[in-house]
Amino acid sequence: MGAELEREFKVLSSRLSFGLNFERHRPESVELPGRPVRKGDKVRVLPPRGSTAKGDQRLWKVLGVKTEAGTKLAELETLNAAESKRLRLAVEDLIVVAEFKDYIYPGLVSTGKVERGGDKPFHTVINGENFHALEALTFTHRGKIDAIYIDPPYNSGATDWKYNNDYVERDDLYRHSKWLAMIERRVLIASVLLKPDCSVLIVTIDSREYLRLGLLLEQLFPDARIQMVSTIINPKGVSVAGGFRRSDEYVYFVMFGDAAPSRLPLSTEWSPSSIVSAAGQNAGQENEDDNEANGRGPGWTSMMRRGSEAAREDRPSMFYPIYADPDRRCILDIGEPIAEGEHKAPEKPNLVAILPIRRNGSEGRWQISAGELKQRIGQGRVRLGRQTSYGFVVNYLPDGAYKEVLTEAYEPWAGGRRFACRFTCRLRRQ
């Protein structure tokens, strides 16, 4: 009978569940500064005060606490060690540690606030171990959160994340397994906080773990709609040893219920009447290029012709002055093409004349005619950049970019990532 049981056990234990399989390690731990040391606690020994050396990472169990000559001393014994060892140390040299298998009841303590928003909605920043911070929020925000954005460590090896207060090295055979176990715990708690009828979980990742993360998310949330998109982090690309240059990372969107991406309505600053004025106020800071370079920002390009047929003599009718008010930083007039043999624009009181002059002093030409420029100014498709020795930098939105602006919303670059989407409820809007 014993042999039969052993044979059946081996058959069952050799079967793996369908899908992503990994060891659900639980060696993570968190230090609890400020927590009084009590009998039965797990503690670590701190490095000497003023030292930057790494402290003793072994765990000790507190057998008891006594006061001698006015100093609190703790009786310690090694925990989970092959050979037992005892120490007596001052309580002030110890820090309490909680492992993931231990119960912990975190609390929030206010450390200050900044009030500048009046009656607008406020923001809360929680500084702490993210797993326990998420657990604490389950008591107050369970099923109430619209969106959660997670930017986890990318598991690059010994550079960006710790596990059980030690770095996970590149040659660790369980490196991917440990990373998955760490992510799974946090993603599961995050899903408890999200609204089941309309919410989204957003997780960023790079090429090291994106395949495993995708499998994990699909396995954890079979009823959600999951989509991965690319996000450019470095247009020039980042060198990869022995491989291609990489310019992007990835973002997983896990959409629950009625959550779906939709286009943002344009705010008033993108209306045709205000693009020019807003650009004029900010272009000095936004555009550091001259007329020969592309204007910064979504779709902006230089009015200066580049490439073939870019000289004045190629299109004499497009060598005309643009008159700008230097105080208001906006275009007020457009002159007639300069006659052949003339190299200066007629002066106008209190206005700066801008001609398509290159940095080397040669005469170029504008991209579009004076009539078309007037039409585009009326549409809010032209802006002034920084002031130069020959006037101002002039940029405009080409037809394709202008059409895109009218149908989509651009959002500014932030932290190397740019998203132009929002998540809404199709059936119910709040």
Round to whole Å and give the CA distance between 298 and 320: 27
Give the Cβ contact number of residue 345 at 10 Å.
Answer: 20
The 10 Å CB-count burial string (b at 16+, else e) for 202-225 is bbbbeeebbebbbebbeebbeebe
Task: Quick: pLDDT tens for 119-136.
Answer: 888 888 998 888 888 988
Round to whole Å and give the CA distance between 236 and 247: 7
In a domain, 15, yes or no: no
Task: Quick: pLDDT tens for 313-344.
Answer: 999 999 999 999 888 888 899 999 999 889 99
Structure tokens at 325: 């008010």
Kindly give, in sequence order, each residue whose CB lies less than 8 Å from that of residue 177, ignoring residues fewer than 6 positions away.
22, 23, 25
> For residue 135, what are the domain limits?
130-262
Determine what percent of the chain is predicted with pLDDT higher than 70. 82
Based on the fold, state whether residues 344 and 377 are members of the same structural domain. yes
In a domain, 336, yes or no: yes
Based on the fold, state whether residues 285 and 252 are members of the same structural domain. no
Looking at residue 265, its pLDDT comes to 66
Flag whether pLDDT at 351 surpasses 60: yes
Based on the fold, state whether residues 245 and 301 are members of the same structural domain. no
Round to whole Å and give the CA distance between 240 and 242: 6
Task: Quick: pLDDT tens for 57-77.
Answer: 889 999 999 999 999 999 999
Tally of domains within the chain: 3
Query: In what side-by-side order are the strands of the sheet with 322-325?
Result: 330-334, 322-325, 352-354
Range 372-377 contact pairs with CB under 8 angstroms and sequence separation of 24 or more: 373/303, 373/322, 373/334, 374/334, 377/276, 377/331
The 10 Å CB-count burial string (b at 16+, else e) for 277-307 is eebbeebeebbebbbbbebebbbbbbbbbee
Based on the fold, state whether residues 338 and 303 are members of the same structural domain. yes
Flag whether pLDDT at 428 surpasses 50: no
**DSSP one-letter string for 26-43:** ---EEEETTPPP-TT-EE
Q: Are 369 and 322 in contact (CB under 8 A)?
A: no
In a domain, 320, yes or no: yes
Round to whole Å and give the CA distance between 28 and 159: 17
Among all chains, which residue has been given the structure tokens 């004025």? 277
pTM confidence score: 0.57
Q: Are 168 and 175 in contact (CB under 8 A)?
A: yes
Among all chains, which residue has been given the structure tokens 């001698």? 68
Length of the chain: 430
Helix H or strand E encompassing 331? strand 330-334
In a domain, 393, yes or no: yes
Looking at residue 327, its pLDDT comes to 85
Based on the fold, state whether residues 140 and 204 are members of the same structural domain. yes
For residue 43, list its beta bridge partners.
Answer: 60, 96
Residue 167 binned pLDDT confidence (cut-offs 50, 70, 90): low
In a domain, 250, yes or no: yes
Of 206, 234, 262, which closes a domain?
262
Of 262, 293, 319, which closes a domain?
262
Helix H or strand E encompassing 261? strand 259-262
Give the Cβ contact number of residue 167 at 10 Å.
Answer: 14
Q: Which one has a higher pLDDT value, 406 or 402?
A: 402
* φ and ψ at residue 89, rounded to 5 degrees: -135, 160
Based on the fold, state whether residues 284 and 371 are members of the same structural domain. yes
Kindly give, in sequence order, each residue whose CB lies less than 8 Å from that of residue 69, ignoring residues fewer than 6 positions away.
none
Based on the fold, state whether residues 189 and 245 are members of the same structural domain. yes
Based on the fold, state whether residues 284 and 162 are members of the same structural domain. no
What type of residue is 326? Answer: P
Pairing of strands 198-205, 60-68: unpaired
Based on the fold, state whether residues 289 and 401 are members of the same structural domain. yes
Based on the fold, state whether residues 251 and 300 are members of the same structural domain. no
